[in-house]
Amino acid sequence: MKKYLLFAVSLIVFSQANGQEDANLKGFAMTMNLDGNRVEMQCSAGCNWTELSFTLPILRKAQLVNESGMTSEETQTSKSAFLFDLSFDNNTILLIGHKGTAWKKLSFSMMEGKQAIIDQQGFKGYK
């Protein structure tokens, strides 16, 4: 009986911890493609922008992105619903989630003529 009670209590604590983690996620959905060192993104949910494009320097420098678009460290990023930085290396996109995402690091190869689909949960494939 004690084992069942202990199991039930640990299950409740675990589910509450997961609920708190999910509460920190901010829903968004976007696609992106890479043309040389130019990143083109389209957001269909959770953003104040619908299209965003920028050129990344070749030297592995990252660009911060949030629901308002491109941002910088000097900007008040603490008020962002979600925040990640984006960089690329040899046709591979690298995203580092700082806020509002279930992922801390996310990387995927870009396919010619395809758009990568991502959301707060991670990489969803290509379209």
What ranges do the domains of the chain cover? 27-126
Q: Is the pLDDT of residue 4 over 60?
A: no
| Torsion 123-44-91-102 (CA) sign | negative
Decide if pLDDT at 76 tops 70: no
- Tell me the C-alpha distance between 110 and 94, whole Å: 11
CA–CA distance from 21 to each of 48, 75, 104, 108 (Å)? 24, 25, 13, 24
Average confidence (pLDDT) over 93-98: 95
30 contacts 119 by C-beta, under 8 angstroms: yes
* 22-61 confidence digits (pLDDT tens): 668 889 999 999 888 889 999 999 999 999 999 877 656 8
CA-only gyration radius of the chain, Å: 18
Q: Do the Cβ atoms of 116 and 126 come closer than 8 Å?
A: yes
pLDDT at 72: 82
User: What mean pLDDT value characterizes the chain?
Assistant: 81
Q: Categorize the per-residue pLDDT at 99 as very low, low, confident or very high, splitting at 50, 70 and 90.
A: very high
Q: Which two tokens stand for residue 99?
A: 């806020």
Distance (Å, rounded) from C-alpha 84 to C-alpha 105? 9
Determine if the pTM surpasses 0.75.
yes
